[in-house]
Structure 1
């Protein structure tokens, strides 16, 4: 009997369109001799619906968009849970929502309550990885080198803008980067060369998050490592995007025709061994399971600085994460999906041995 694979995509995040691209690629690649596909679309307003798998065939990601039957989000979720996720048989959920309300532990929490196996990080690791401010705190405790940064909260900024600005200029300086704490794909991120740029960058980032990270610019290269696994994770060969952009923003990532991958990155064997080991160390520090992409800065002196951990990296066939695995050990896109599903079942099986009732005593 085939395994029921529920692919959840869309969502309320500003990364909605990126989720559609990821879902389109995954749905096209899944081996349907092994899996019975059940797409679940979450609209921008948070309502759920379950399109017919036959209706979303083709290569146009826009065909994945469907109109939920219910006007109320709670009713729509209940409808999908009742008629889809309650179906009998072996099942697993593949969450493909980048950013808020999908990559941040919220969806994972619901799936934990339902006791359904799901691919990727658990509640805590997903929440930590998406929140750059919190992940930096944990990684610092693990002794992992990071770029100098400060956290700015909206209420702090509104209460004392001159004081916050002075602290950032004194302790971080220019150029610097302003980032929403909990967002991906370089959305809301600004490179700031002076006070005017910093003020503009903070105003822009506060549209997306109430907590920001302001980071000193580190001249050098950006190197990425793909990691997968649960208790015994493994790391890929490192990769690097080759581009001419001073700031690798959203347009550079998704629209620059000159962008190319270098896998393995040209960094030498000793540094390759070191960066793979450091990626695993960071992965374990955040309690990651399933998959993550670990991003580093390599400065001009050859020192590595951890940039961030992405709990749900780009996952189209042309994204760095799957391509790194293909060039590391020959794992194809379809085989990678199956490996990640396997990790989901392993983790779920291990959790079934945990007691949730106090053992009776005589």
Structure 2
């Protein structure tokens, strides 16, 4: 019996969701091909799966034009460190996961060094710059996309493109979803028990994002919103899960902000490190930063209010470039404004508290949103996306 030859993989995951996907993909590849090693850009979940992290994602996790320019030196050093590691020990395949601007530059430089590239998650050219689809073939040898409508956008330009489906369908299976069904209240009660939270009463989940820049901009607003709600609803409880990708200094700052809040909020606010999906399940309603987490919440079935703030210049540029009406992934997937979004100056405690009040109270609005969220799985392809992605990556890595 001939052993499979050793394989070397290189992952680049600059965000918490990408870190999770990298870990899941690597575990599935290793189950098929035990003689595999991997290193790259990632966080705690990548390391736990056996990927050696050359650069920790906490050092590069910024977004927005102004924020990127402010941290350009740090991002450049990270890029150089990753390229140096690939030059010293060339991998059979670079698997670049989302984190678009950084990973596109890394992938293009890797291909120039003769390294094959699988890019997972297409740039949203249908929302931003459609003409860039023609140039993306310079970035990747193969593109794996989340949505079936993305395939022709890139394949027509000669880039091999595969619709693998959305990994969240595997990571959040139907039996864990809180759709209007007999299991909904039981799932919520179980999640609260695991978090040691009261099994009755209203619980609001506060999710300010997984990047330091998001925490800096959004956490004070979320905490102020919670304090405002406690004036009228002193028995409400709040859960704030901390992303495992955040560095210790940022985590310490979150706890410090809690300690600096009112005694009422200190008593009502529960902070947990990790366990974001458990917090989403335990909550009645979420106040959540725009991003992948909103799609996770949608699959779990917890109604939400989406909030986002970025640097004013970044937002001004986005307004002039974006060709879609909403920024929240649930709304983009559904093609309509099913979930309320509050951006920039509209993301203030007064408006957010009012929106949460209307949504948390038994209302037609709550039922409408939950029914809309129940439509989302049908738009994300078939389960098994992670398996298909692992198979595709292994095939490309073994290609001569």
Class of the TM-score when normalised by the shorter of the 2 chains? 0.3 to 0.5
Which one has a larger percent helix, Structure 1 or Structure 2? 2
Which one has a larger percent strand, Structure 1 or Structure 2? 1
TM-score (structure 2 length as normaliser): 0.33
